[in-house]
Structure 1
């Protein structure tokens, strides 16, 4: 079992690693990250089996990690604060440890992990029965309906170069540089798009992989894109998304 520890206090991180390795013989701590930026960088390259995560880090709140990239591993939170418990279980949290953490705490957390893993192990016959439904549930939009004068017109997702949030409205930009308002939130649009083909570079813009012509350095460790489409605002990749974005581009 591979484990990543996210903790900005080196002494606490070392103690936690010792507790993990003493409690779980098959545990292998693959790294220790002390900041949000370092965590995003690490997880964009390799997703371990389990995360032990502090909440208050040097450069912000660890919940920001979940906003920067998809986290598929379960999380055991380790923190000195109890006010984050509800938020923790809204993410991938399976257990919430309050510091100082001891061996009994870590053992209880692993027991919870094992219980969940056992409960989620599907019966092969049941899995086969529900595979068609699961497959259908993961399908993404093939088109969006946009209003053109008094008509609704479908715009194929394959023709979309980027989506930009401008003046409180989301707009689709197509290969022909046509621009259509789409009355959905950026979160709704992002959820409807295949993440292998579209990337949300900041809160206001989503870009399509094939629309990227060039990537250049920008201020404050950000990057700016040249796109085939011409949105009103510069397509700037936010600083915390640069590392996962570049990894996504390379997976083309």
Structure 2
């Protein structure tokens, strides 16, 4: 049984592998891709997998760009932190999903639905004519509906962040306690006002879309700054800014992001 994991967060990909083995799925033929580009290349070189676990935001963009180009005919279980907009669209179209952070019980429930669906479409024992080519799981209309849901402007922003722990439990970190978010080797950390680091599920791009843009601004490729954490701003080399935070840390803007940061600071 071939499984494909489309996920740019290494801890989540490892968790899916572990949960799949615990559930009893064969895990000798598991493949991973962290970007749309790599996934396109994978589908061009391999037969259709039995099941895909798919994140929404990959390293180089939105995964729906992949599904617009590849005719995926196997079941897809989405793993996402977009609980506000995408889940109604998933539910309306009968699409499997896991909301990050998910535990084993939630994973097993999603797999049980997959097993039931697979059994309902199992061919009869008697010989049958050659079946027609399988239809894609996501039609063009459904892909557009999901893409539109993802583009929908927020009616409210996240007020707390879910912090995962090694035993798959989690706790909630209020947004007002966050100084900045930082991506570090594929893991995003919420750094609090005392400098404590809390691992959270999702990419910076996902969090940037879920947090109030009046309060959070992208500082560079790897950091998302919270306005109340700023102590003072100073000029830095090469048209960059040094941001001194109240708890003592200093962050630096990228040259490309500095103009947008200046506009954000000016309100």
Between Structure 1 and Structure 2, the one with more helix by share is 1
TM-score tier by shorter-chain length is 0.3 to 0.5
Q: TM-score by structure 2 length?
A: 0.44
